[in-house]
Amino acid sequence: MAVTSTFWQMLDATAQNALSELGRYRIVPDTHSLMLQGDAPERVYVVMEGRVKVCMVTDRGKETVLDVLGPGDIVGELETVDHRPRLASAVAKGMIKVLELPGEQFRGLALASPEISAALLRVMSGRLRAANEIRGARSARDRVIELLHQIAHRENHGHAAEVAVNPGVTSEEFANWAGTSRGAAGRALSWLQGRGVIQRVGHEIKVNLEELHKSMDNTHAHDRGD
């Protein structure tokens, strides 16, 4: 399971203050792009309020949702580290607030700060693990279960038995994020709701974590042939 602490939460007050002094806070309107696929990596952003959709678009215009980031998450750091063009775009989902950091200065500060470097390493490895866990799931239902598991653990900051999550994306984007079709994702969510694992209320999904874990255990047992 990927780490649940955000980049900002991993930093102490000294590191947070250093980043705040380096950058500037911005309010970004809905649907505005923080960065575009293929652009030079000139900026790094820490999301302070709201959500940001990270996505790639093929030459034929097909969008793939890679992640949806929330408060405390960092975006644009990878290309700043390797000096290569943006792999993906980042788009505001609703009005958001970000800490905008100049790329080169951020890189220099990260290299000089073991704490920031360690936080970046944990973020990158956590995202890779999360993506692999979804990609390695056996079926569309299993990918939806895994994605819900990841989102729920991001939102569950205590030890609640039930957590209400808002994926922050449309049903089509949610399906794309899970690596399946909208119809298959809808059937998976209906199957989970019928078994008391989730309850859909408006844009929110209430997740019973105990039942979700049982569903995951059953999936893993089936994969092992138990």
Comparing CA positions, the residue from 182, 179, 180 lying closest to residue 170 is 182
Quick: pLDDT tens for 145-175.
999 999 988 877 667 788 888 877 888 999 9
Predicted local distance difference test score (pLDDT) of residue 218: 67
Query: What average pLDDT does the segment 104-115 reach?
Result: 94
3-state class percentages of the chain: helix first, strand second, coil last, to nearest 5: 45, 25, 30
**Residue 161's pLDDT is what?**
82
Q: Which residue has the higher pLDDT, 165 or 2?
A: 165
pLDDT interval class at 3 (50, 70, 90): very low
For residue range 30-74, what is the model confidence (pLDDT) as tens digits? 999 999 999 998 999 999 999 999 999 888 888 899 999 999 999
Band of the pLDDT at 1, cuts 50, 70, 90? very low
97 forms beta bridges with 27, 49
The pLDDT value recorded for residue 2 is 45
